[in-house]
Structure 1
Amino acid sequence: MAEYKISGEYIQLIQLLKVLSWVENGGQAQAAVTAGLVTCNGQVDYRKRLKVRPGDVVEFEGKQVRLT
């Protein structure tokens, strides 16, 4: 599992998908979240602006990352 260090208290889920280059743009990130293709800590979450924080694990298309 990969790790990604965020610089603040949290990062929005769609921003994280873009920063990790798991999607090409914000529209694709929003579509992936809306379709239920992204999980946070093992749970599907449909909130595009979900604040993910250190310790959270995000998964998309077989890729996982733990925030630090």
Structure 2
Amino acid sequence: MQQDFTLTGEYIALNDLLKICGVADSGGAGKALVASGAVSVDGTQELRKTCKIRAGQTVSGDGFTIRVVGA
């Protein structure tokens, strides 16, 4: 699943992005997914659950890719 997410503020927390885009059922599930090492930001494994994701970044994992674009 590949999708674009339009960022309206300066950044969004990684776990919230996963929840909003439907990759995780909840913020807690998003945190667990990140903690498991299954999420990459711009091709690098990311373990910080609330990492600030900004426009221009790409978040990916098994079966999903989210491109973050500015408003």
TM-score by length of 1: 0.93
Alignment of 1:1-68 (within 5 A): 1-68=2-69
Q: C-alpha offsets along residues 25-62 of structure 1, whole Å, 9 cap, x if unaligned?
A: 12211111001000000000100110000000000222
Instruction: Find runs of 4+ consecutive structure 1 residues off by over 3 angstroms.
Output: none
1:64 counterpart SS class: strand
The CA distance in 2 between the partners of 1:58 and 1:8, in whole Å, is 17
Structure 1 gap ranges (5+): none
1:17 positional shift: 0.3
Structure with greater strand percent: 2
Give 3-state SS (helix, strand or coil) of 1:30's partner: helix
